[in-house]
Structure 1
Amino acid sequence: MLLLPGFLESCLLIAALAAACAVRPWRMLQGTGRGLLVPLVASLVLVPVLWWGWRAPLSLALGLLGAQFVLLALGWPLAVLVFLAAGVAGAVLGDVSWPGALGAALWQGIVPATAGLVAGAALRRAAGPQPFLYLVGRAFLLPMAATFGVACLAHALAGRHEALGDAAPAVFALAGLLDGMFTGMAIALLVLLQPGWVATWSDRLYVPGSAAWRHRHEGSAPTTRRPAGRLGNH
């Protein structure tokens, strides 16, 4: 098993934090983006609970869930800050070592979210802003694949989840399926009921015929507005 050096993991964490802070994601929480405060607070509470609130072996599986939902609801820059905060909470409030807590922030949060961001951007570039592909592809299939793939990568490169032994691939596959189902259903409900709580969703991009869509394609003034996509959120 190839183990990624701790120094390299630290460099990846610093690079992710610098990239997230460079776009000043807290500006998204102003004006029409204040609706994102709800998923932000929910993520700051639920992610540490999923990561640190359970005993092994259940914690090993539940710790793989949630990263894709946080990515889609908040966008990549804010998601990075949430994952780092969850890691710090585990070290300060729990009995997790700092290397273990920051390793979790990287492999259970930042890397899966980055994989989902890149795959989602590639999907939208290839197929265009299709609402069906957003809800089924980006909110269900891609989270399932990203969660499973990154868990396998972390197991191989960083030796994470070694306690699972030979059952690791099966647990990773189940976690990927659960994460895809949860993310898909949660994002679909939010898009339907509270689209302002989803940073990566925009009527201007995904809803043909809406006032925001007509404004984008025809130049007419929209009569209603919802938060448009933000930097680093596509």
Structure 2
Amino acid sequence: MGTLAVIYQIVITLLFLYSIFLGGIHKNIVQKYFFVYLLITNAIELLSFIGRSYLDLSTNGIIYNCYSLFCLCFFYFFYSGSFVKKSRFIFLGLFCLALACTAIFTNFLKFEYDYRIGIVLALFYICSALFWMGYRIINVDNRKITAHPRFWISVGLILWSSFFILRSIPMYLFEKIDEEFQKMLRNVFYIVNIVFYILFFIALLKSKNTPDKNEKPAL
């Protein structure tokens, strides 16, 4: 495991522990979402590490295929709780479209990771983040948009998704990719992941300072 991979693992572990700490002090729906996401993410990374290190698995693709489906559902519920009426219905349509594309155009039961699932997820992330930002700009409340935890998550999702799509393009355009180029992409992606979770940490801080106690989960 490289240095960036170790740093990434430390960051998500510390975030998970911090979310547990916050959960004992401030209890609101947004922080519960954060706890669940970080719990599953840490569990997936642990399973992946065990698979590579002790079970001699060359790929953990099916684990990440399932994780991508979890993320798709998770961020639907995460954002949907902040919408009302027509906006929530439109967002539900976006979610159903993403599920349909996953079911029709991908093979999420493959042992190897299907990058088409990741592309669907990345596009859903970008659309969800932009939809939330547009909704918040139109429906102004008594807080700055940067005071909302979802703002920082949205920025992180757009950053992560944009790079993921750019990273995936060479894998479709070229049959074989230079090993050094692959290594560079992998390292840059670790950096992007670390930046994303730094933004996640800011969102955790915002959820502590301005708890969204009135928001309802999407059911």
TM-score by length of structure 1 reads 0.27
TM-score by length of structure 2 reads 0.28
- Which of structures 1 and 2 has the larger relative contact order (alpha carbons within 8 angstroms, sep 6+)? 2
